[in-house]
């Protein structure tokens, strides 16, 4: 069996290897249950947030279970980052795809106030601070 695992590692993805290890450690039924619970992590656990860098005007769209803590961590490297708005759902990827033409780098975008206001209204963000 160990040989099978070694040989199959060459063709298995990291996820498949992790799934196999869970099943070996906990048995097939409980291992599968754990795998399914991990795969279906509730989207509502994450909140989408909008932060603004007041020195550049760039907008960051991200997700976090605790956006306030995330922004505090980011602010240690850039004191100009301020939390602007939060919503209780994970729409980060959807928004980032829609704003791809405004992307500066990573999760940072250069968008107008009109676009920002449109996003916060359409997606029902809770405004935390007004720039």
Sheet holding 103-105, edge to edge: 103-105, 108-109, 59-64, 47-53, 81-87, 126-127
pLDDT reading at 23 higher than 60: yes
pLDDT (0 to 100) of residue 8: 47
pLDDT (0 to 100) of residue 31: 64
Nearest of 60, 45, 51, 48 to residue 87 by alpha carbon: 48
pLDDT (0 to 100) of residue 26: 73
Q: CA-to-CA distance for 122 and 91, rounded, in angstroms?
A: 12
Residue 129: pLDDT band (50, 70, 90) is confident
pLDDT tens track for 59-76: 999 999 999 999 999 999
Nearest of 66, 65, 61, 70 to residue 125 by alpha carbon: 61
pLDDT tens track for 77-123: 999 999 999 999 999 999 999 999 999 999 999 999 999 999 999 99
pLDDT (0 to 100) of residue 14: 72
pLDDT tens track for 28-56: 776 676 666 666 655 558 999 999 999 99
Number of CB atoms found within 10 A of residue 19's CB: 18
pLDDT tens track for 1-19: 444 444 444 566 776 777 7
């Amino acid at each position: 069996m160990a040989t099978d695992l070694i040989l199959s590692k060459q063709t298995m993805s990291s996820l498949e290897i992790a799934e196999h290890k869970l099943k070996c450690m906990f048995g097939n039924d409980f291992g599968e249950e754990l795998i399914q619970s991990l795969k279906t992590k509730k989207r509502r656990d994450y909140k989408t947030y909008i932060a603004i860098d007041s020195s550049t005007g760039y907008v960051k769209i991200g997700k976090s279970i605790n956006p306030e803590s995330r922004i505090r961590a980011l602010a240690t490297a850039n004191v100009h980052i301020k939390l602007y708005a939060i919503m209780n759902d994970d729409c980060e990827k959807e928004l980032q795809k829609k704003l791809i033409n405004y992307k500066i780098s990573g999760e940072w975008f250069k968008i107008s106030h009109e676009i920002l206001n449109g996003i916060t209204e359409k997606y029902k963000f809770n405004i935390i601070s007004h720039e």
